[in-house]
Structure formats: structure tokens, C-alpha cells
Amino acid sequence: MNYFKEIFASRELLVNLTLREVKGKYKRTVFGQLWSLANPLAAMLIYTFVFSFIFRLEPAPGDPSGIDVFAVWLLCGLLPWLFFANVANNGSRSLVSNAPLIQKVYFSRVVLPISTAGATGFNWLFEMVVLLIALTIVGAFVLPWLPLMILTMVLLAMFAAGVGLLLSIMNVYFRDTEHLLTIVLQIWLYLTPIIYPISLIEVQSDQVGGLFGTPVTILDLYNVNPMVHFVQVFREILYDGRLPDGGALLTCTIWAFVSLAVGLWVFRINEKHLAEAL
């Protein structure tokens, strides 16, 4: 409990460090904040071209919204994923890149990875607003789903922050972490139904049946991935325009709290020795 007090006491520092990241990043660029949209936009164009135009992938139209636009369907899963991947990436570097600060000044160290998550979250918020506008243009009525969307965003932010905390500590002791992470995230992206619908996995899973004579199917293993559930909930809320599956939302909630708790716990154990270990 004391730990939360400490974090709460450094909230101003948290805000200032977050602003430092946000403001510093696009300083002296002509397009400024617009650059944060460039990455997801480029990814959207590439995936839409390859998977929709070349491979003719056709995810089911939104039910009941009736929207049938691949690019928008893709973004509903891609934007949350990119947020998560960026928090993991930036979070893993947050302690190492601030080593001089950690070795010279005392402050609550936990604000470093959390402020990176905050800064990434700020950009994500910006992206989601653009997505909402796109959804409205293609005919979705998003307004009633805003509270649920924000709730899910908070849950994903908690999950990502926990992973970021864990990775930041790992990277201090094993500098390989950030390089390994690039590969892991790439595999992870394809293990999550972002650029293809989960129905394709379901079909495969049904064909193969239980693995190695056990009742465990491919789909069961696939569902271990927490991002599967986050992407599902975001799509149901935004693209389909309906209440998300209760089970999926519950899974997201559990993952969010477990990840944050483990992340904070590991961080707490290790933070006292950071100045020497760096």
C-alpha cells in the first residue's frame, strides 16, 4: 500500500516525464505530432494491400453494424497491438536509457517505465480518435460504446505497463532483452488475430482436433495469448458495435491486474539495486 502512496506522491513527476517524452520526440520536425500517425498508417496500407488485395482475405462484416471495410477492421486490432508493442519496446529501454539520471538523483524509479507507457498511451489516444472518426465515416455509431472502449483501453494500458515494468528490469540485467524482444513481438503479432480473423484458426483447430491424444486443441493454446482477448473485445465494441463477450472481457481484466501486480512486485524487489546494476 505504501508503494502506491509513493507512486501517487510522484504523480507530478510522472506527468512531467510523460510530457518530456511527448514534447521531446517530435520537436523540430515539420509535421510534429502527426508523425505518430505515420507508423500505423503505413502498417495499415501494407497489410491492407497484401492481405485484402492480394490474398483476398475477407473477415466477416461487422455484426450488427454491417461495416465491411478491411482497413477499418484491421485498425481496430492493429492500433491496440501497436500500443502494446511500443510500450513493451520503449519500456524495456526506459531504465537503461535513463541510467545517468538513476545514478545521480533519487526519485521513485517506477515513474520511468510508467511515464514511457504514458507517453505511448498519449499517442495511442490520438490514433484512436482518428479511428473513431474513420468508423463514423464508414457508418458506425460509436458514441454509446465510448465508455466501454475507454475501460478496455485502461485495461490494456495496465497489462502493457506491467509487461513494460518487467522488461525494463530484465533489460538492466540482460541487455539482450531488447533485441530478443523485437523478434518475440514479431512472432506475437502473427499469433494474434490482427491481420487475419480468428475464424481461420478455429477452422484449422477443428480439423486437427485434440493435440497428441489430449482434448487440448490448437485454439485452446492460441487463447492463452492475452492479446487475442483484447483484440476480440476491441473489435466487438468498435467494429461490430455490440456488447463484448463477458468471458473475454473478464480474461482481459484478470490479465491486466496480474500483469501490473507482477510487474510492480518485480520492480519493487529490484529497484534498490538499479544504480549499481546499470
Partner 1 sequence: MTNPAVTIETVGKRFRLYRERNQTLKSAIMRGRRSVHEDFWALRDVTLQVPEGSTFGLIGSNGSGKSTLLKCLAKIYWPDEGKITHHGRMAALLEVGSGFHPELSGRENIYLNGSILGMSRKEIDSKYEEIVDFSGVEKFIDQPVKNYSSGMYVRLGFSIAISVQPDILIVDEVLAVGDAEFQQKCLLKFRDLRETGKTVILVSHSMQAVKTMCDQVAWLSKGALMAVGDTDSTVKAYTDSLDLKRD
- 163 touching partner 1, by CB under 8 A: no
Tell me which of 3, 6, 16, 261 binds partner 1, using CB under 8 A.
16
- 206 touching partner 1, by CB under 8 A: no
> To the nearest whole angstrom, how small is the minimum distance from the Cβ of residue 189 to partner 1?
22
Measured in residues, the chain has a length of 278
- 247 touching partner 1, by CB under 8 A: no
- 190 touching partner 1, by CB under 8 A: no
Cα end-to-end distance, the chain, whole Å: 27
- φ, ψ of residue 269 to 5 degrees: the values are -65, -40
By the 10 Å C-beta count (0-12 exposed, 13-18 middle, 19+ buried), 140 is classed as buried
Give the total of residues touching partner 1 (CB under 8 A).
28
- 23 touching partner 1, by CB under 8 A: yes
Contact stretch for partner 1 (CB under 8 A) within 16-24, 153-161, 192-200, 222-230 = 16-24
Tell me which of 4, 12, 144, 214 binds partner 1, using CB under 8 A.
12
Tell me which of 34, 60, 103, 245 binds partner 1, using CB under 8 A.
103
Whole-number Å distance between alpha carbons of 57 and 39: 22
Tell me which of 3, 6, 24, 55 binds partner 1, using CB under 8 A.
24
- 211 touching partner 1, by CB under 8 A: no
CA dihedral 166, 172, 175, 179 (to 10 degrees): 30
- 104 touching partner 1, by CB under 8 A: yes
> To the nearest whole angstrom, how small is the minimum distance from the Cβ of residue 17 to partner 1?
7
- Could you tell me which residues come within 8 angstroms of residue 117 by beta carbon, excluding any fewer than 6 positions away? 87, 90, 91, 157, 160, 161, 164
Site string for partner 1, 58-97 (x = CB under 8 A): ----------------------------------------
Residue 136 grid cell: 463514423
Which CB sits closer to partner 1, 6 or 58?
6
Question: Alpha helix (H) ranges present in 105-245?
Answer: 111-137, 146-173, 177-190, 199-208, 218-222, 226-235
Query: Which residue type does 120 have?
Result: T
> To the nearest whole angstrom, how small is the minimum distance from the Cβ of residue 121 to partner 1?
19
Contact stretch for partner 1 (CB under 8 A) within 145-153, 171-179, 199-207, 213-221 = 171-179
Residue 236 backbone class (left: φ over 0; alpha: ψ -120 to 50; beta: rest)? alpha
Whole-number Å distance between alpha carbons of 162 and 256: 8
Catalog residues that contact partner 1 under the rule CB under 8 A: 12-13, 16-17, 19-20, 23-24, 27-28, 100-107, 173-177, 180, 272-273, 275-276
